Amino acid sequence: MSPLHRFYEFVNRHAIAATIAVIATALVLGFVGPQVANTDDPNFDPTTKVFQLADTAAERLDGSSTVESAFFIVESEDGTDVLTADALREWQAAVQRVVAEPANQAHLIAGYDDDLAAALPGIFSIADIVEGRLEGGLVQADDAAIKAVVGELIAQNPATRQQLSEHAAEGPDGWTSPAFAASVVYDEATFPTYADSELWLREVQDQLGDGAVHIAPVGVAIDFDTSFDEAINASAPFIFLAVALIVLLVAIVHRSYWSAMLVGAGLGLTVLAYGGIASLIGLKMGSLMLVFIVPIATISFGVDFYIHGVGRVREVQVDGVPSGRAYPAGMTAVFTAMLLAVLSSMAAFLANASSGTEAIVEFGVGAAIALAAAYLILGQLAPRVLLGIEGWIGESPAPGRWRYLYRAAIVPAVVVAGLAVTLAAVMPEVGVVAVAASVILLLVVPVLLTRRRNRKAVAAGRPTTTGIAGAAHGLAAAGSLVATLARRRAVTLPGVVLIGIGSLVLALRAESGFELVDFLPADSNPVESIAVADEHFGGNGQGGSLIYIEGDLSEPDTLAALDAAVASLRETDAEVGRTATGELITDPHAGGLVRAAAASPDVVARLAAAGTPLTDSDGDGLPDTAAQVQAVFDDLTVHGLSTPDGEQIYSAADIPELLANDGPGVHATAITVRVGSFTDGDVIGQVRAALESTADELTDAAPALTTVGVTGEVITQFESLEAFRDSMLLSLPIAVLLTLLLAAAVLRSFRYAVASVVPVGFVVAGVYAFMTIADYRINVVTATIAAIAVGVGIDFSTHFTVRFREELGRNGRRIEALRQAGAGTGGALVLSALSSVLGFLVMALAPTPIFATFGMLTAVMIALALAAALVVLPSVLLLVAPSQPTSPLLHSEKQETPELVLAGF
C-alpha cells in the first residue's frame, strides 16, 4: 500500500473529525475575516513617472475647502428652445421651491462664477442673470424680451455663451438653445457620508423636475457611486440564481439530493474560508475582483473538483469496490489529475504577481487561495462526506407515491443553498449564519430524518433500493466522440489549427477601453446624464489633464512663461476642451491668480499698508519684482481672492488647490486643460503630446522651475488601463511556462506536459476572439479572464491527460485509451462544464454589465475548455504517445484497480 493510499485510508477512518474541523475552521474564518479585513481599494496604478507626478500634484495642490459644485443641464422638454418665458419661469419657480426647503438650506451655499462675473445663490444659471436684467423680472417678460437680454449678455461677456448648449444659435428672433447649464453649490461637510450627498443631489434633481412641463433638469454624474452600488445589489439575485442552478444541475446529473447539498455547503464554506484567509494575510478587500470575481470564478473550479472526485469514487464502486473502501481507491486514482489541476491553475493565477501592480498581484494571490480551499473542501473531503452520508442512512425504500414530493423538495433546498453561497460572498457576516444554517437544515436534519425513515422501512420489511445514485459518471457518447475525432486527426488537427489562427487574429484585435456602459446599466443616471452632457457640452471635454509645475514662481518672467504656455495650448490642434466660441477651457494658474489679485483694490491697499506697494511698469498686469509677487502669494493664502467689487471668487481654503505657497521659492501650480475623450487613445495621445511639447517649452523658458511634467486623471486612467491590460497579457507566457513545468514534474514527461498545455492557447485565443466579435472591451474586469482561462484550460486538459496515460498503461491501445478516458474523465468534464456553463449564462442576464459580461465570458471560456479537452487534446496526445507504452505507470495508478484494493492493499 502506497503512502498516498494510507493517507486516504486515514481520512476515511477519521472522516467525522475532519469534516467537523473543516466546517468549524471555515465558519471561524468567515466570521473573523470581516472583523480584520482591510476594506481599502488596491492600487491599480503602475509606478511610472506619470503616476508619481499625479501623487505629488494631489499632495501639493490640495485645498481644505469642502465646497462642491454639481453640474446640471436644463433641457427643453420638447428638445427645441429652453430660452423662453415659460421654460425660464418654470425653472426659476422650481429653484425657489428647492432653495426654500429648510433641509436644502442646510447644504446650499452661495458662490461666485468668475467667467460670468456673477454671484451664485446656491443654485445658479443664466436664468438668474436674465431675471436680474429684466424690469419686472421673468414674471412679466415675454420671449422677445428674454432673447434680447440673452443677446446683450453674450455681446457684453462672451463667456455667457458657454452656459448654453453647443447647439445654441442666434437667429432673426434672437438666441435659441435646447439646453443651458446650471450649478448646485453645496458644502460636502454638511453630510455624514459622501453617499448621503449623492442621495441629496438625487432629491434635488427630482425636486427641480417635479411637475415640470417645459423643462427637463438632469444632474450630470451626480450619483455615480450610489448607482454603482445599486447596480451591484440588483445583480446579486442573478449570482444567487447562477449558484442555485449549478447546485440543481449537480442534483440532476448525480441523481442525488445529498450530492447537490454537499456542493452548496462546500461552495459556501469555500467562499468563507477564502475571504477569511485573504483578510488575515492583509489583502485589500475593497477590490471588486477579490469580493466578487474571485468567488464567482471559484464556483466553476469547486464544482469541477467535486464532480471529478465523486465521479472517480463512483467508478470504483461500479467496478465492485465496497462503499467503505471506495473513497481511498477512487481518490488515490484521481489524485495526480486533481493535484496537477489545482497546482497548475494556482500557478496560472500567481503568474499575475509578475505585473508589479498591487490590484493584479492581490487578485492572483486571492484566486490561488480560493482554489486551494475549493480543492481541499470540495475535491478532497466532500466525496468522503457523501459516502459517509449514504452509508449512515442505509438503503432507501423503493420509490413510492411520495417520490414526486421528495424530488420537488430539492427546489427550495437549492434556493436556500444558492442564497447561502451568495451571502457568503457578498455579506460574509450574514453568510456565516446562512451557511451554518444551511448545513444544519439541508444536510444534518434531512440525514437524521432519512435514516429514521429508512430504518423504519427495513423494519417493516419494505423493499429497498441497492443502486448507486450518480453512477452514470461514465458518458459513452463522450468516449465515442473523442475516439472518432482522434482517428480522423488528419482532418481534426488542420481544422483546429485554422480555427486557432482565426481566433488569434480576432483576439489580437480586442480593444481596451473604459466606458461607463461596461460597468453601469445603460438606463442609469450617470450613463444617461453624461450622454446629455456630451450632446450639449461635448466640446468642453470629458476630463482633466495638466502640466504640473514646481519651483520658484515669484519671478515675473516665470509667470509670463506660464501665460505663454497657455497661449501655446490655445493654438494646438489636439482635441482639448473649448467653449462654444472656441476659447480654451483652463483652470486658473499662479499667473492668473496674481493678475486678478493685483487688480483688486483691497489687495493693493493691504500690501501697501504692509510696506510692499505693487508696481507694474510694463503694464502686463504682473508686479515688477519677485518680492511683490511673493507678497501677493502670501496675501492670497490668507485672504483668498475677491473681485474689485468685493465678491469673493476663491476663499483662502480654495487657493491651495491652485497655488501651493510654502515660502519664498517653494511654489507649485498647474496648467489644466480638458481632454476630448476618456477612452479614445488617439485623442488622449494627441493631447498628451501637446502638453509635453508645451512643458518642454516652459522648461526652456523658465529656468527657475525645478519640476515640469504632464499628468492628470485622463492620462493616468488611460495609462493605468493600458498597463493593467498589458500586465495581464504579459503574465500569460509566465502562466503557461509555470503550468508546463508543473505538468512536466507531476507527469514526469515533458511531451505530455506540452500536449496538456497546447489546448490552453486555444481557450485563451477563443475567449478574446469572442470578445472582439461581441464587442466587449478589455478593462479591469475582463482582463482577468486571461488568467482564469489559463486556469480552467489547464484544469480540463490535465484531467484528461492523466486519465489517458492511466488507460494507456492498462491496455496499450491508444484509441481505446482515448475512448475510455473520454467516457470516464471526459464524461465528468461534460457534466462539470454543463453545470457551470448554464449557471454562468444565468449570470449573463444580470442588469449590471460587469457581471453580465463576466458571466457570458466565463460560460464561453468553460465551453471552449471542454472543446479543447475533448477535440484538440486527444489528437495531440496521439502525436506524443508511444504506439506501445514503455514508461511505467504513475505512482497513483499502481493501486487504483478494484482487484488490488480487494486484495487487501
Residue 366: exposed, middle, or buried by beta-carbon count in 10 A (0-12, 13-18, 19+)?
buried
Range of weakest confidence among 156-170, 695-709, 874-888? 874-888
Q: What is the pLDDT of residue 118?
A: 54
C-alpha separations of 577 from 57, 114, 669, 702 in Å? 21, 18, 20, 26
For range 91-104, the mean pLDDT: 92
For range 833-837, the mean pLDDT: 84
Residue 612: exposed, middle, or buried by beta-carbon count in 10 A (0-12, 13-18, 19+)?
middle
Name the average pLDDT for the chain.
86
Q: What is the pLDDT of residue 733?
A: 83
CA angle 250, 251, 256 (to 5 degrees): 125
Q: What is the pLDDT of residue 898?
A: 36
For range 640-664, the mean pLDDT: 85
Q: What is the pLDDT of residue 468?
A: 61
Q: What is the pLDDT of residue 769?
A: 93
Percent of the chain surpassing pLDDT 90: 43
Q: What is the pLDDT of residue 332?
A: 93
Q: What is the pLDDT of residue 114?
A: 56
More confident residue, 401 or 391: 391
Which pLDDT tens digit goes with each residue over 268-317? 999 999 999 999 999 999 887 888 888 887 887 888 899 889 988 988 88
For range 128-141, the mean pLDDT: 87
Q: What is the pLDDT of residue 615?
A: 93
* Model confidence at 901: pLDDT above 80: no
Confidence of residue 147 (pLDDT cuts 50, 70, 90): very high
Which pLDDT tens digit goes with each residue over 759-777? 888 898 999 999 999 988 8
Q: What is the pLDDT of residue 561?
A: 94
More confident residue, 118 or 560: 560
Are the C-beta atoms of residues 452 and 50 closer than 8 Å to each other? no
Confidence of residue 897 (pLDDT cuts 50, 70, 90): very low
For range 837-864, the mean pLDDT: 86
Return all residues near 856 (Cβ < 8 A) that are at least 6 apart: 774, 840, 841, 844
Confidence of residue 879 (pLDDT cuts 50, 70, 90): confident
Which pLDDT tens digit goes with each residue over 472-531? 456 788 888 888 988 888 888 899 899 989 999 998 888 776 677 888 888 899 999 989
Range of weakest confidence among 292-301, 853-862, 889-898? 889-898
More confident residue, 2 or 752: 752
Q: What is the pLDDT of residue 894?
A: 40
Type of residue at 41: D
DSSP-derived 3-state class of residue 237: helix
Confidence of residue 587 (pLDDT cuts 50, 70, 90): confident
Confidence of residue 404 (pLDDT cuts 50, 70, 90): low
pTM of the model: 0.79
Q: How far apart are CA 281 and CA 293, in angstroms?
A: 19
Sheet holding 215-219, edge to edge: 123-125, 179-187, 67-76, 215-219
Confidence of residue 855 (pLDDT cuts 50, 70, 90): confident
Which pLDDT tens digit goes with each residue over 16-54? 999 999 999 999 999 999 999 998 888 777 777 898 899
Q: What is the pLDDT of residue 403?
A: 62
Q: What is the pLDDT of residue 667?
A: 94
Q: What is the pLDDT of residue 297?
A: 79
* Model confidence at 15: pLDDT above 70: yes
Are the C-beta atoms of residues 443 and 449 closer than 8 Å to each other? no
Cell of 160: 455667457
